[in-house]
Amino acid sequence: MMSSHFIMLGLLLTFAIAHSGLAASRPWGESKIGARAYRVIFALVSLPLATVLVIYFFNHRYDGLQLWQVQGVQGVKATVWILSAISFLFLYPATFNLLEIAAVQKPQVHLYETGIIRITRHPQMVGQVIWCLAHTLWLGSSFMVVTSIGLILHHLFGVWHGDRRLQARYGESFETLKSRTSVIPFLAVLQRRQTLDWKEFLRPAYAGIAVFVLIFWWAHPLLTRATGNIPW
């Protein structure tokens, strides 16, 4: 049972190398084959690896030691779902550019200082940490702890790597953005380097995320049963 912990770490490392490596190679790749083609290659590599990760996680989430069991404690289930919903608000700012993700429109690197970026410059990292904390609380297994550590480390590396790439591409413009935003949520706001404009959150993409959370809540048991039919 403990071998699954090492397999999961291996899968996470493989995904991290592929994902970060392709991100680092983006300027070179786009100069050779164009932005759309490179985004397609990025997706063709990343999505299958992510799918394998998700299936393996579902099938082994209770492996190893049961470190705690709080699923029967009043309020825990609601807390986990609320935290999970909040995590998706941070995890998917890319939903604002779905046409670029699908390479229908030309994919571009953007510098934003609106919406969720006012709260944190790296919303995907924050969302992943919240998701990991919620699911580690709920599952309480050593496998989940190992998975969470791996995911958080990958996203912390992504913070450094992402800032480094933006600095190389945008130079002084990114330094200006960096001075007015923070990695830690709300830190720039508390330090009066940034202000929140709640009207920026009244966007269709956020409504889409809310609908996605509701659908995922409904489909979660179905997804668990479906992945259980795959003998990994």
pLDDT digits (tens, 9 = 90+) for 64-94: 999 999 999 999 999 999 999 899 888 876 5
Q: Positive or negative, the Cα torsion across 39, 40, 41, 47? A: positive
Residue % of the chain over a pLDDT of 70: 91
Which among 108, 97, 91, 81 has a CA at the least distance from the CA of 203? Answer: 97
**Strand partners of residue 97:** none
For 219, the token pair is 């489909």
Helix (H, G, I), strand (E, B) or coil at 231: coil
Query: In the predicted model, what is the mean pLDDT of residues 38-49?
Result: 90
Q: What is the pLDDT of residue 109?
A: 53
Q: Which residue type does 120 have?
A: T
Q: Taking the complete model, does pTM exceed 0.75, yes or no?
A: yes
Q: Among the listed ranges 102-106, 140-144, 145-149, 168-172, which one has the minimum average pLDDT value?
A: 102-106
Write the CB contacts of 67 (distance below 8 Å, at least 6 apart in sequence): 140, 141, 142, 145
Q: Is the pLDDT of residue 189 over 90?
A: yes
Is residue 98 pLDDT above 90, yes or no? no
Q: Give mean pLDDT, residues 158-174.
A: 89
pLDDT of 30 reads 87
pLDDT at 163 over 50: yes
DSSP 113-151: -SGGGGT-S-HHHHHHHHHHHHHHHHH-BHHHHHHHHHH
Where residue 97 falls among pLDDT bands split at 50, 70, 90? very low
